[in-house]
Structure 1
Amino acid sequence: MKREYGQFCGLAVGLDVIGERWTLLIVRELLIGPARFKSLLENLPGIGPNLLTDRLRMLGEHGLVEQTSVADDGRARLYRLTEAGQELRESVLALARWGLKFLDESDTAGATRAEWGFLAVQALVIDEAVPEVDETYEFEVGDQTFQILVRGGKVSFERGSVAEPALTISCDAGTFVRVGARILSPFQAIATGDVRVEGDPGAVLRCSLMLGLS
C-alpha cells in the first residue's frame, strides 16, 4: 500500500504523488525527452523493472505521464510527460540547483550522463544575467551536443548542433557536473584541458555570467 501523509496541504499532497523514491528521477529522464521503457531502465541503474513499472503506472494515474506508440515499431511504447508533468520542470531544476551545493568529489564515482549535466546547466541560468544579444552557445558533452539559445532576453534549450555558434564548450559529462557543482572551477578545467572553449571572448564572458560561473 502506498503511504500518504493525510494532510490538507498542497506540499503534502504533491509529495504523495511524486515523493516516492525514484519518481522524480523518472520525471528528470522524461524532461530530457520521451523515452522507451528499456531506455528508462538503462538510464536509472538500480531501479528494477517492477519498480519502474509501478512508478510509471502511478504517474500515469495522476495524469503526469502518458504512453504513445513508436512510429517504426507498433508494439513499442514511448513514455512522455503530459502538460501537467511538464509543469514540474521549474521545480525539478530548482531542486537540482539546490542539490548541486551538496555534491563533492566522493559522489563522482556514481553514474552520470551528458543529459544530466545539461539539465544542471539549465538549473544554473540566472534570469537577471541573460544577455540582451541574440546568440547561441553550443555544448559538446561526451557524444551529445546541446544548445543554449538566447533570443530577445529569453533562454531556450535544444539538442543538436548549429552552424555558427557564438561559443562552443567541449568536455566529458563528469567534468560538466563538477564545474556546475563548483567542485572544479572553469579556470582550472580550461587550464588542465578538461574543458575546451572556442568562440568570441565576449560570448564566453556573457555565458559565464549567465550561468554564475564567472
Structure 2
Amino acid sequence: MRSYRQYCGLAAALDVVGERWTLLVVRELLIGPRRYGELLADLPGIGTNLLAERLKSLSHLGIVAKDDQLYRLTERGRGLGAAVGSLTRWGLAELEEPESGTACRAHWGLGGLRSMANAARVPGLEESYEFHVDDEVFHLRVSDGSANVGRGPADQPAMIMTTDSKTFVRLGSGDYSTRAAQSEGRLTITGDPQAARRCALVLGLGGES
C-alpha cells in the first residue's frame, strides 16, 4: 500500500481510503450489506478485478468483512460515515446538469438526503416526507429534534415527491430548484405545500417549493 509518509491524521486516512474507487465502495456499503454482483452493478466503470482488489484491501484493513457472500462494513468502516456524508454534502454544490451517459442510481440520493437533513433548522417540527425516485422509495422523518432517513415508505407523509434519480441528486446542489424541476416536468409534489417548504428547510435548501 502506498503511503504519504506524513505524520498527520488526514494523511493517515488517505493512506487507507485515498485510492480511486475506495470511498465509492464504502458509499455503497453504508447503505447496507451487498453482494459482489450488486456492488459491481452499482459501481459502473470499476471493473471486476479492481473491485476485487479494493474489497481485499478493505478487508485486510478491517474496514470490510464478508459473511455468507455479503460484504458489510465493520464498526471501523461505519466510522467513515460522517466523513463520506461531509464529502457528499460538499460535492453536491459541484453538480450541474449531468451529461448524457453519466451514470446515476436512485440510492445515491439516499446518501445525499442523509448528509443534508438537519432537524435543528426547523425546531419543534414533527413530520414525515416520502420520496419516489425511479423504482425506489425513501423517507425522511423529523421528530424529537432528529432527522432520520431510510428506505421504504413514510408513515403518514405530509408530502410525497416523485422524480427520477438524476433530478433528485441534482436538487441537492441548491442550484436547481423544485420549481424549475416541476416546470420542466421532472418532478411532482403532492400533499401539503407548506410541508414541502418545511422539508426544503430541513434539507438546507431554503423554503422554495
Question: What range is the shorter-chain TM-score in?
Answer: over 0.9
Structure 1: how far apart are the matches of 2:147 and 2:98?
33
Superposed displacement of residue 25, structure 1: 0.3
Structure 2: how far apart are the matches of 1:106 and 1:172?
13
Superposed displacement of residue 120, structure 1: 1.4
Q: What's the secondary structure of 2:107's corresponding residue?
A: helix
Contact 1:131–1:210 (CA<8 Å) still a contact in 2? no
Structure 1: how far apart are the matches of 2:198 and 2:176?
20
Superposed displacement of residue 163, structure 1: 4.6
Q: Deviations over 1:137-192 (max 9, x none)?
A: 11110000011111201011111113521111110001111211234211111223
Q: 1:169 corresponds to which residue? A: 161
- Matching residue within 84, 109, 125 for 1:92: 84
Contact 1:105–1:183 (CA<8 Å) still a contact in 2? no
Q: 1:66 corresponds to which residue? A: 65
Contact 1:130–1:154 (CA<8 Å) still a contact in 2? no
Contact 1:147–1:160 (CA<8 Å) still a contact in 2? yes
- Matching residue within 178, 187, 190 for 1:198: 190
1:154 aligns with 2:146: yes
Change (3 A) 1:36 1:85: same
Structure 1: how far apart are the matches of 2:114 and 2:180?
22
Q: 2:112 corresponds to which residue? A: 120
Q: 1:39 corresponds to which residue? A: 38
Q: What's the secondary structure of 1:158's corresponding residue?
A: strand
Contact 1:130–1:155 (CA<8 Å) still a contact in 2? no
Q: Deviations over 1:63-91 (max 9, x none)?
A: 1111111xxxxxxx000111111111111
1:14 aligns with 2:6: no
1:133 maps to amino acid: L
Structure 2: how far apart are the matches of 1:131 and 1:174?
30
Change (3 A) 1:67 1:97: same
Q: Give aligned-pair identity as a percent.
A: 47
Change (3 A) 1:22 1:187: same
1:179 aligns with 2:171: yes
Deviates more, 1:200-209 or 1:18-27: 200-209
Deviates more, 1:182-191 or 1:31-40: 182-191
1:7 maps to amino acid: Q
Q: What's the secondary structure of 1:165's corresponding residue?
A: coil
Q: 2:47 corresponds to which residue? A: 48
Contact 2:140–2:154 (CA<8 Å) still a contact in 1? no
Q: What's the secondary structure of 1:164's corresponding residue?
A: coil
Count the aligned residue pairs: 206
Change (3 A) 1:110 1:183: farther
Deviates more, 1:155-164 or 1:134-143: 155-164
Gaps of at least 5 residues in structure 2 are none
Superposed displacement of residue 109, structure 1: 3.7
Q: What's the secondary structure of 2:190's corresponding residue?
A: strand
TM-score (norm: length of structure 2)? 0.92
Deviates more, 1:113-122 or 1:182-191: 182-191
Deviation above 4 Å: which 4+ runs of structure 1? Answer: none
Gaps of at least 5 residues in structure 1 are 70-76
